[in-house]
Chain A
Amino acid sequence: MAADWSRVRADFPILQQTVHGKPLVYLDNGATAQKPRVVIDALVRYYESDNSNVHRGLHALSMRATDGYEGARTRIARFINAADPAEIIFTRGTTEGINIVARSFASLLKPGDVILATEMEHHSNLVPWQQVARATGAILRHVPVLGVDAEGGLDLDALDRLLTPQVKVFAFTHMSNTLATINPAMELCQRARAAGALTVIDAAQSIGHMPVDVRALGCDFLAFSGHKMCGPTGIGVLYGRRTLLDRLGPTETGGGMVVSVDYDGARWKPAPERFEAGTPNIAGAIGLAVACDYLDRLGREAIARHDNALGQLAYEKLSALPGIRIIGPRGGRGGLVSFAFADVHAHDVVTFADEDGIALRGGHHCNQPLMRKLGLTSTTRASFYVYNTEAEIDVLVKSLQRILKFFGGA
């Protein structure tokens, strides 16, 4: 079914408001996406009629909650084409997912082993690996990005040199939250596998914006957040290949993840429960499954075409502004654009744009090492989603022109 983009906007109650007297132009989707009515309704319905704890009770509500929660796991497995729902671990978000993998790896790494990341990783796919490297004596290396504006993407020639037999794990982002670079994830996984390394994909920015098929990608682990794909906050997923999950120990222990406990010890359940100690975010999982339905109705190939076209159009229209520097690829970019002006700081841009009802992000985007490499301290980012329109890019351009005029004339 071809999506009727003009009707999508009506699905999102929050977009029907004005901010500072102007229609809301929400361009901060890289940070979090808005929620369609169906997801909000699913949360309300769960709390109004099914709320109970999972996997513990034998009463009707507990069984309904358990069915909803486990049904969500199955739905999400299908969403990313996992072979088995047991490969879907519910987390709070991408950050927790990567931390679980990184901490689990700690027991498998020894001094001299190499953890490979890239220079474009979000702090959440960098700092956990720094911690593991410190704890184990493993060495953390980074695949360089090419070009003064990082327009060249990852240095794939360098990757050949970096993928030595010492590399045990290669962690990389599917799509950069700052550069809009879409990495060739399938190729990266193939090369890593050939070198004997496991792969961890940060799919936070890609999951809601393009088809993500873990078996086609050939990755070992993949982490994402629900809230960037129209789902609730506080729910995310760590996908891991079954055979690997069963080899990893838990990172948190307590109720719900044990087979049996005595005063001196306990035995763990297999994945996924092994990694889900305590009462999970049941409503969040159910809402996330409904978000999967919503995105599949729009069609993920179609969403990718829509979002990337807006990213490219914004890139072209913003390029005409005086004194602007846009980082990331010139073409083939994802649906966001990050830019800096020579004489106006990102904070001031965001404050002015807010006056025009436009929500932007200004700052380092949890990408400090990359920003430093590019000689920047901050950029302004506009990131697009299914409800954004070409007309909103014109509103953005007009607002930026006004800002430049104000500071230029000061």
Chain B
Amino acid sequence: MSGDLSELYQQVILDHNKRPRNRGKLPTANRVAHGDNPTCGDQCDVYLRLEGDRIAEIGFDGSGCAISQASTSLMTTQLKGKTAAEAEALFQQFHHIVTTGEAPEEISDLAAFAGVHAFPARIKCATLGWHAALSALHGDPAPTTTESHTD
């Protein structure tokens, strides 16, 4: 297996793919958003229970490749307890990681996705859940699709 491929499929990604965290519909959710990747048919629903400006609980459902499933799973562990502004900032960092491959050490597990940058076609997979989560935070009424974002 090439270096690029083993960079892409890091152990933490394989683990989240196999044992996704916070998977399933959240009955107490007061926000939900649907995300679609029309290129490949990947889809996910992200459920949030907001308390004021803070994400008290988060869950997700859907289907997709190892990268999208692991990314969304890991995202839920990172966003729980964050404010909307903190979530936005974290997404910016994540976006930087997957598009440049540069990962600052302090953001831990998200750095596992640095390998995605060598596979431009997979960046949409890695960001699908994030786009859905941000839509849910913003209360966007329409489903989000990866085609409406520049990544």
Task: Show the binding face of A for B, using Cβ within 8 Å.
Answer: 20, 344-348, 351-352, 355, 362-364, 368, 371, 377-378, 406-407, 410
Question: Which of B2, B41, B65 lies at the interface centre, i.e. has the most chain A CB atoms within 10 A of its CB?
Answer: B41
Least Cβ–Cβ distance between A115 and chain B, in angstroms: 25
B 5-24 contacts with A by CB, 8 A = 5, 8-9, 11, 14-15, 17-18
**Cβ–Cβ < 8 Å partners of B122 in chain A:** 347, 351
* Contact yes or no, B65 A352, CB < 8 A: no
Extra pairs beyond A345-B63, A345-B69 (17, CB < 8 Å): A344-B66, A345-B64, A345-B65, A346-B65, A347-B40, A347-B42, A347-B67, A348-B67, A351-B5, A351-B122, A355-B1, A355-B4, A368-B41, A377-B41, A377-B42, A377-B63, A407-B14
Q: Which of B39, B43, B66 contacts A345 (CB 8 A)?
A: B66
Interface pairs (25), CB distance under 8 Å: A344-B66, A345-B64, A345-B65, A347-B65, A347-B66, A347-B67, A347-B68, A347-B122, A348-B66, A348-B67, A351-B5, A351-B8, A352-B5, A355-B1, A363-B39, A364-B40, A364-B41, A371-B41, A377-B41, A377-B63, A378-B41, A407-B14, A410-B14, A410-B15, A410-B17
* Contact yes or no, B41 A363, CB < 8 A: yes
B 35-51 contacts with A by CB, 8 A = 39-43
**Cβ–Cβ < 8 Å partners of B43 in chain A:** 377
Q: Which of B1, B40, B67 contacts A346 (CB 8 A)?
A: B40
Question: Number of contacts between A and B (CB, 8 Å)?
Answer: 57
A344 to B66, CA, bound (A): 8
A348 to B40, CA, bound (A): 12
A377 to B128, CA, bound (A): 16
Least Cβ–Cβ distance between A346 and chain B, in angstroms: 7
Given A345-B65, A406-B9; A355-B2 close (CB under 8 Å): yes
Question: B125 contacts the other chain (Cβ, under 8 Å)?
Answer: yes
Question: Which of A345, A352, A406 lies at the interface centre, i.e. has the most chain B CB atoms within 10 A of its CB?
Answer: A345
Least Cβ–Cβ distance between B78 and chain A, in angstroms: 22
* Contact yes or no, A20 B2, CB < 8 A: yes
**Cβ–Cβ < 8 Å partners of A362 in chain B:** 40
Question: Which of B15, B18, B42, B43 lies at the interface centre, i.e. has the most chain A CB atoms within 10 A of its CB?
Answer: B42
The 10 closest A-B pairs by CB, nearest first: A347-B65, A410-B14, A364-B41, A345-B65, A363-B40, A377-B63, A348-B66, A378-B41, A377-B41, A348-B65
* Contact yes or no, A355 B5, CB < 8 A: yes
A346 to B122, CA, bound (A): 12
**Cβ–Cβ < 8 Å partners of B119 in chain A:** 351
A352 to B8, CA, bound (A): 10
**Cβ–Cβ < 8 Å partners of A346 in chain B:** 40, 65
Least Cβ–Cβ distance between A348 and chain B, in angstroms: 5
Least Cβ–Cβ distance between B40 and chain A, in angstroms: 4
A345 to B41, CA, bound (A): 11
**Cβ–Cβ < 8 Å partners of B9 in chain A:** 348, 406, 410
Least Cβ–Cβ distance between B28 and chain A, in angstroms: 27
Least Cβ–Cβ distance between A276 and chain B, in angstroms: 31
Nearest residue (CB) in A for B125 is A347
A345 to B18, CA, bound (A): 12
**Cβ–Cβ < 8 Å partners of A406 in chain B:** 1, 9
A399 to B97, CA, bound (A): 29
A371 to B40, CA, bound (A): 12
A346 to B41, CA, bound (A): 11
* Contact yes or no, A410 B40, CB < 8 A: no
A260 to B147, CA, bound (A): 44
**Cβ–Cβ < 8 Å partners of A20 in chain B:** 2
**Cβ–Cβ < 8 Å partners of A344 in chain B:** 66
**Cβ–Cβ < 8 Å partners of B18 in chain A:** 410
* Contact yes or no, B5 A347, CB < 8 A: no
* Contact yes or no, A407 B66, CB < 8 A: yes
**Cβ–Cβ < 8 Å partners of A348 in chain B:** 9, 65-67
A347 to B1, CA, bound (A): 17
Least Cβ–Cβ distance between A175 and chain B, in angstroms: 22
Least Cβ–Cβ distance between B45 and chain A, in angstroms: 13
Nearest residue (CB) in B for A379 is B41
A378 to B14, CA, bound (A): 20
Least Cβ–Cβ distance between A35 and chain B, in angstroms: 23
**Cβ–Cβ < 8 Å partners of B66 in chain A:** 344-345, 347-348, 407
Question: Which of A348, A363, A410 lies at the interface centre, i.e. has the most chain B CB atoms within 10 A of its CB?
Answer: A348
**Cβ–Cβ < 8 Å partners of A371 in chain B:** 41
A406 to B8, CA, bound (A): 13
Least Cβ–Cβ distance between B2 and chain A, in angstroms: 6
A344 to B67, CA, bound (A): 11
A39 to B125, CA, bound (A): 37
Least Cβ–Cβ distance between B36 and chain A, in angstroms: 11
A347 to B63, CA, bound (A): 11
A406 to B63, CA, bound (A): 20
A289 to B15, CA, bound (A): 53
**Cβ–Cβ < 8 Å partners of A407 in chain B:** 14, 66
A378 to B43, CA, bound (A): 11
